[in-house]
Structure 1
Amino acid sequence: MTAAPPCEQDPDAPAAARSILVIDDSEVQRRHAVRLCFELGALEVHEACHGRQALEVLARLSALPSLIIVDLEMPEMDGIELIEVLQQQGVRIPIVLLSGHGDALLDSVQTMGASVVRGLRKPLERADLQGVLREVLSPAEPVIERRRAPHLPIDPPMLVEALRSGGIVPHFQPKVDTRTGLLRGVEALARWQHPLLGMVPPDEFIPMAERMGLIHDLTRTMVEQSFAQCAAWQSRGMRLTLAINMSPQLLANPDIFGEICAQQVRHGLSPSQVVLEITEGSMVETSSAAHSALVRLRLRGFGLSIDDYGTGFSSLQQLSRIPFTELKIDRSFVHGAHRRKSLRVILESALELARRLQLSTVAEGVEHLEDWRLLQDFGCTTAQGWLIAKAMPPEELPGWNRAHGARLATLRAAP
């Protein structure tokens, strides 16, 4: 079924969606949702009574809808089963869930797939739908990085050549003070722009480097380039902290302590400017040699951060064993926390734990101003994410920082 738009639409509505599919076995609630969609600028709204009918509608359409609104409880095929079928078919459409059940159930279902963008309580409210449309149609930051062709896989010789020729370079993501919005530091992130394959995702080439025994070479080039760049900014009056990821496999290397210290001295950086990030999940297998290296680096004055906090199973144990100075909260507990009670509780608990342990805190994955405000309320120290900026080549950072000054009034915490 396809409904026709009403004559008048809200002039303040978000940018119009090309089309929306509303799936609800209650005709009253379905018609209410359809009316709201048109009022908020939808150009075309399709309807279905249950999941199977929705699949039939999708099969008939020449173009997929911009958004699907689906009730969780329906006959013949409920919302959960529909989501699973769409995932199996490779259909990636933003999905809004509707349910009369509590937020805990909606939060649980929302974790089923990346396509689920929001869970809302029934009956659907105009303000809630308006917020969803703004989020879906006007994302905080478009994905502009070019992806490689899926049929051209990378292989070990390509990685060896990239390391030899300097094809893997650091990009830098800003880290800002959550009270003032001011730039405090950067995280160095490895980027490989292959001339033929495009941008190779780090989650592909970094594990390959570890398997091939090349993680030392990769980290060495990242440390050298990142330290040199940080020193160059500093010579121009831009003193920043630098966070760089370290593999526990590398920390077990007896030479790593000396190499990091030598680079720090060579480039005239203070050890306190450098934060070494160690992923929490990987710490389970940390050897005694790696543990010793971390303690020695901390004694030298380097900062130690437990990265992706909350994603592993040994968080408290690691915090008691290793002299961390910073707790970095994984984006899965930050993104969307302003609208999910369970995430808010976990986020607040982690920040309170860090405060009591006298650790600085970093929240990653901040994409919405509402999550930013939540971090301010909970006392987070610094934050990074696409609300602030994506990772960028080093030459872009000074210009970004100058332009960022215009946003400080919006980002600053209320006195």
Structure 2
Amino acid sequence: MSRGGWRSKEKSRRQMQHVRETRGRIIVLDDDPDLREEIGQFLSAHGHPVIGLEDGSTIAATDFAPSDILVLDMVLLGMDGTDVLFGLTTTAHPPRIVLITGHGEPVLRAAAAAAERAGLTVLAGLQKPFDLFALEALLRSAREVAPCSIYVPPAASDIRNALDAALDEDTLPVEYQPIVRSKDLSFCGAEALLAGWLPGLGQVSPIDIINAIEGDRALIARLTENVAQQAAVACRTWTRAGWSGTVSINAPIEALTQPKIVTSLLSVVEAAGIEPHQLILELTENGLYDSSFAALQSLLKLRIAGFRLALDDVGQRQSGLLQLANLPVTEIKIDMELIRAARTWSKGRGIYESLAHLGRRLDLAIVAEGIENLDDMALVRANQVDYVQGYLISKKRPLPELIAMLPEMETNLGYATLERSAG
């Protein structure tokens, strides 16, 4: 096997310069010349433009394109993969990453977690030796997905002003992601979500909206009540159209501990013509850490009034599960990051299965978020998860679009495919 063009440091620098001048390349960074050559030749034979590198010191100065993908060995001569990952955080457009190592799954998982927390995108982690056909399929799938455009969040003050205006004028955009039963994909409700834009401001990530109003209890309460009002009307709309189902909203603990919150939410559901049990208030795990008398009293009052309480994002902080014994919740929602971990990591699958088992033992309804493919569905069905939501079913949609798609939801091609896969 020829090693020419894959070894020298100077050659690597020239090749990295070539990366700057091209787009959509697969960059293989590994100091094992044999493996680097093998990967490069295999991927090139399958139509991928490939550049092989042995030295990662030039990574930080590289002008990557959004479509570039880096296959990164975590152990390199003179440096390790964490140094390369750190260098990538300083680049304008870091590539998407496939991690490889011979040091086992725990190293891969920790490296992936560190990279993602630094804002990098990790497509997968592969243990050596790995199947080149599997790598090629992964890269082909990743290259078929158009990279996201760069999003620069507006200033927090601009977000607050736009949100204030939208609430004053009752123009806050809310969309709905359907939730279905895992066993047959029949509609059982939807989650009301911020649409991702604000009038007069344009695209704004829901996370940036939440961050911009952090600590402003009055604005958080206004936002929650407005979303509850729209959600209740949406629930009435699909109920009158013949579709039985609940509606869920994200409910920060700061909103639920406001004075007269029970009276306010009862007025919301009464005005919309639905029952309290049709509105599910989703508590984030962050809310668990407020175990004050006021917080627990509010949650108990809401539960007694008939509202259902769901614990959202379960799995982000495992220590929060200890609070399950103290909260009057009726269901748990397994965080979507766990399903992503379960696709690749055995530990992730183990945690996912344990949470589903815990939910059943506590007689709680279990909702799985982030279901994107047939393997995800097979996992939740194998673990007797009750309800699912995610892109496999539908993205979030404006209410008219959701109502229009409901008649075909249970009979579309996706549902038939799922039934065949389960048979």
Instruction: Confirm or deny a common fold (TM above 0.5).
Output: yes
Partner of 2:126: 120
- Give yes or no for contact 1:273–1:302 (8 Å, CA) kept in 2: yes
Question: Does 2:50 align with 1:45?
Answer: yes
Q: Alpha carbons of 1:198 and 1:64: their partners in 2 closer, same or farther (altered >3 Å)?
A: closer
Map of 2:190 onto structure 1? 186
Taking the aligned partners of 2:70 and 2:172, their CA distance within structure 1 comes to: 40
CA distance in 2, matches of 1:143, 1:361: 31
Q: Tell me how far 1:276 sits from its aligned partner.
A: 0.9
Q: Distance in 2 between matches of 1:151 and 1:275?
A: 32
Quote the offset at 1:403 in angstroms. Answer: 4.6
In 2, are the aligned partners of 1:168 and 1:192 still within 8 Å (CA)?
Answer: no
Q: Quote the Cα distance in structure 2 between the aligned partners of 1:210 and 1:82.
A: 34
The answer to whether structure 1 residue 326 and structure 2 residue 331 are counterparts is: yes
Deviation, structure 1 residue 150 = 4.7
Contact between 1:2 and 1:46, CA under 8 Å: does it hold in 2?
A: no
Give 2:390's aligned residue: 385
Mapped contact 2:153–2:204 kept (Cα < 8 A) = no
State which drifts further: 179-188 or 339-348.
179-188
Written as runs of structure 1 = structure 2, the 5 A alignment for 1:1-80 is 18-42=24-48, 44-52=49-57, 58=62, 66-80=68-82
Deviation (angstroms), 1:53: 5.5
TM (norm. structure 1) is: 0.87
Deviation by residue 1:366-410 (Cα, 9 ceiling, x = unmatched) = 233322211111111112222322211111102333454311122
- Please tell me whether residue 309 in structure 1 is matched to residue 336 in structure 2: no
Partner SS for 1:311: coil
Partner of 2:238: 233
2:161 is equivalent to residue 157 of structure 1: yes
**C-alpha contact 1:309 1:328 (8 A) present in aligned 2:** yes
Q: Distance in 2 between matches of 1:324 and 1:160?
A: 31
**Equivalent position of 2:10 in the other structure:** none
Gaps of 5+ in 1: 4-16
Matched, 1:410 2:414: no
Q: What amino acid is aligned across from residue 99 of structure 2 in structure 1?
A: L
Q: Which secondary structure state, in structure 2, belongs to the residue aligned with residue 292 of structure 1?
A: helix
Between the two proteins, the alignment pairs up a number of residues equal to: 396
Q: Is the 8 A contact 2:289 2:320 kept in 1?
A: no
**1:315 counterpart letter in structure 2:** G
Residues 387 and 317 of structure 1: CA distance in aligned 2, closer, same or farther (over 3 Å): same
Deviation at 1:149, TM superposition (A): 6.1
**Which residue matches 1:89?**
91
Q: How does 1:248-267 map to 2 (within 5 A)?
A: 248-267=253-272
Partner SS state of residue 111, structure 2: helix
Query: Which sits farther off after the overlay, 343-352 or 294-303?
Result: 294-303
Distance 2:148 2:162 in 1: 25
Shift of 1:349: 0.6
Instruction: State the identity %.
Output: 31
3-state SS of 1:84 partner: helix
Deviation at 1:304, TM superposition (A): 1.0
Residue 318 of structure 1: CA displacement?
1.8
- Counterpart residue number, 1:242: 247
User: Is 1:345 matched up with 2:347?
Assistant: no
Structure 1 window deviating more from structure 2 (147-156 vs 385-394): it is: 147-156
Separation (CA, whole Å) in 1 of partners of 2:83 and 2:214: 38
CA distance in 2, matches of 1:317, 1:100: 36
Question: What does the per-residue CA deviation read over 1:27-83, in whole Å, with 9 as the maximum and x for residues that have no partner?
Answer: 1111111122123321x2111112125567x46x8x576211121111123222111
Match of 1:8 in 2: none
Contact 1:174 1:384 in 2 (8 A): yes
* Amino acid across the alignment from 2:29: I
The C-alpha deviation readout for 1:213-243, integer Å capped at 9, x for no partner, is 2122111111111101110111111222111
Q: Which residue of 2 aligns with 1:200?
A: 204
Could you say if the C-alpha distance between residues 386 and 92 of structure 1 is closer, same or farther in structure 2, counting changes exceeding 3 Å?
farther
Residue 367 (structure 2) aligns with: 362
Q: CA offsets, 1:158-184, max 9 Å, x none?
A: 332121012313211111222222222
Per the TM alignment, residue 156 of structure 1 is displaced from its structure 2 partner at its CA by 3.6
Query: Could you say if the C-alpha distance between residues 155 and 410 of structure 1 is closer, same or farther in structure 2, counting changes exceeding 3 Å?
Result: closer
SS in 1 for 2:114: coil
1:211 and 1:315 mapped to 2: Cα distance?
A: 21
Distance of 2:289 and 2:166 partners within structure 1: 31
Residue equivalent to 2:180: 176
Contact 1:177 1:383 in 2 (8 A): yes
Paired letter, 1:132: L
* Counterpart residue identity of residue 203, structure 1: I
Q: Is the 8 A contact 2:332 2:359 kept in 1?
A: yes
RMSD of equivalent CA atoms = 2.6
Inter-partner Cα distance in structure 2 for 1:120 and 1:215: 43
Deviation at 1:126, TM superposition (A): 2.5
